[in-house]
Amino acid sequence: MSKFLVTGGAGFIGGNFLHIMVKKYPNDEYVCIDALTYAGNMETLEPILKEKNFKFVHENICNREAVYKLFEEEHFDYVINFAAESHVDRSIENPEIFLKTNILGTQVLLDACRKYGIKRYHQVSTDEVYGDLPLDRPDLFFKEDTPIHTSSPYSASKASADLLVLAYHRTYGLPVTISRCSNNYGPYHFPEKLIPLMIQKALRNEPLPVYGNGANVRDWLYVGDHCNAIDLIVRNGRDGEVYNIGGHNERTNLEVVKTILKALGKPESLITYVKDRPGHDLRYAMDPTKIEKELGWKPEYNFDTGIQVTIKWNLENKKWLEHVESGEYLNWLERQYK
């Protein structure tokens, strides 16, 4: 039996990770810590709240005293850090919160791991730390040794955290791993990101805003595939290593939007082109050869199958989406313990 601390588990990727692992490993224990900021949603965790091997703690990873107390009480074997501010547009408007959560919060966790001891600390990172690739070179991919070259306050904060994690490994011998993933999509995705936003706007026959000419390319990864990759890295990866996780599913933003419209039977006339985002990266594309060869990971979903599953989930979970869009989900704790 092992005990895991999962930070940011009420968010999109962390929530999906817990859904899978709590049921996959009933003899392991999972403690979720989440600050429940705007993107943290307790309704995401409702399917596992009553599971015997799951526990939720409402706290911020930047609170050193509270984090140390939790480590002292729980004696964790593994720490997986999903907790992060992750929306690029928000980072452009207000960089400070990204630096606090993504860098200083990571430092608090690393210090706690040093103080109380763990088998492994895993940092969930992003392909955005590499910057971008040119659109006219489809032969180029991000590899684990690609130099870091950030474009936004968000990606700069994530790159800083990665470097801090690796420094703690080299300086203090802390057992760590890092995963850098391409764009995720799937169930429980907060509707500020491209795919869930476009699905909801299409369902309401509202204009679908596309940055620039929609030519920016992303490698799309179904969230369940990402979670399974992280599980393999945490349990079998090599200390001090970085692993890229990609879906081999490159699409332009415009192609993604058109795919959603076609699946929902909506006209392309709903597409509206808007002023491009400052510093908008052109193309992300990951080379996942390392994790495939070392750990035997392969994605189960391609984009065509994964997007259908995602759209179906959105159609079947309107209550969750309504609560997110109305802000009602923020009152979950009050409703639960009133």
Catalytic residue list contains 154: yes
* Dihedral angle, C-alpha 238, 240, 242, 243, nearest 10 °: 10
**Helix axes of 223-236 and 12-24: crossing angle, nearest 10 degrees:** 60
**Rounded Cα gap, residues 20 and 7, in angstroms:** 15
Active-site residue, selected from the candidate residues 29, 34, 128, 162:
128
- Picking from 76, 135, 178, 74, the residue whose alpha carbon sits closest to that of residue 281 is 135
Residue with tokens 């992003």: 126
Known active-site residue 162:
no
Choosing from 127, 162, 225, 231, the catalytic residue is: 127
Task: Tell me the two tokens of residue 267.
Answer: 């006209």
Residue 269 makes CB contacts below 8 A (sequence gap 6+) with none
Helix (H) or strand (E) holding 202: helix 194-203
For tokens 């040119």, name the residue: 134
- Active-site residue among 121, 130, 154, 222? 154
Residue 128 annotated in active site: yes
Look up residue 113 and give its amino acid.
Answer: C
For 136, other C-beta atoms within 10 Å of its C-beta total: 8
In 3D space, the residue among 291, 287, 290, 185 whose CA is nearest the CA of residue 231 turns out to be 291
CA dist 173 and 119 (Å) reads 11
- Closest to 30 measured CA to CA, from 41, 15, 43, 44: 15
Distances (CA, A) of 197 to 35, 62, 189, 256, 292: 23, 30, 9, 12, 32
Which residues are catalytic, by number?
Answer: 127-128, 154
